[in-house]
Structure 1
Amino acid sequence: MDAFIDTLIQLLIDWGYLGLFISALLAGSIIPFSSELVMIALVKVGLNPALCVLAATLGNTIGGMTCYYMGHLGKVDWIENYFKVKKEKIEKMQHFLQGKGALMAFFAFLPFVGEVIAIALGFMRSNILLTTLSMFVGKLIRYIVMLLALQGAISMIHYECTL
Structure 2
Amino acid sequence: MPDIAFEHTYVALLIVSFLAATLLPLGSEWLLVALLLGGKSPFLVVVIATIGNTLGGATNYLLGRWGSTWLIRKVLRITPEQQHRAESWFTRYGSLSLLLSWLPVVGDPLCLVAGTLRTSLSRFFILVTTGKALRYISLTWLTLRGSELLL
TM-score bucket (shorter structure): 0.7 to 0.9
Larger radius of gyration: 1
Q: Would you say how many aligned residue pairs link Structure 1 and Structure 2? A: 149
Which residue pairs with 2:33 in the alignment? 40
Task: Note the C-alpha offset of 1:92.
Answer: 3.8
Task: Note the C-alpha offset of 1:73.
Answer: 1.6
**Residues 79/13 of structure 1: CA separation in 2 closer, same or farther (3 Å cut):** farther
> In percent, how many aligned pairs have the same letter?
27
Q: How many Å separate the matches in 2 of 1:23 and 1:63?
A: 10
Which residue pairs with 1:126 in the alignment? 119
| TM superposition score normalised by structure 1 | 0.81
Task: Note the C-alpha offset of 1:20.
Answer: 1.2
Q: How does 1:13-162 map to 2 (within 5 A)?
A: 13-98=6-91, 100-158=93-151
Task: Note the C-alpha offset of 1:12.
Answer: 6.2
- Residue type of the alignment partner of 1:128: L
User: Alpha-carbon deviations, 1:52-91, whole Å to 9, x = none?
Assistant: 1001001110011111111112411221123221234323
- Indicate conservation of the 8 Å contact 1:57/1:139, yes or no: yes
Task: Point out where structure 2 has 5 or more consecutive residues left out of the alignment.
Answer: none
RMSD of equivalent CA atoms: 2.0
Secondary structure of 2:101's partner?
helix
**Residues 136/152 of structure 1: CA separation in 2 closer, same or farther (3 Å cut):** same
Task: Point out where structure 1 has 5 or more consecutive residues left out of the alignment.
Answer: 1-9, 159-163
- Indicate conservation of the 8 Å contact 1:27/1:60, yes or no: yes
Secondary structure of 2:108's partner?
helix
Bigger RCO (CA 8 Å, 6+ sep): 2
**Residues 143/82 of structure 1: CA separation in 2 closer, same or farther (3 Å cut):** same
| TM superposition score normalised by structure 2 | 0.87
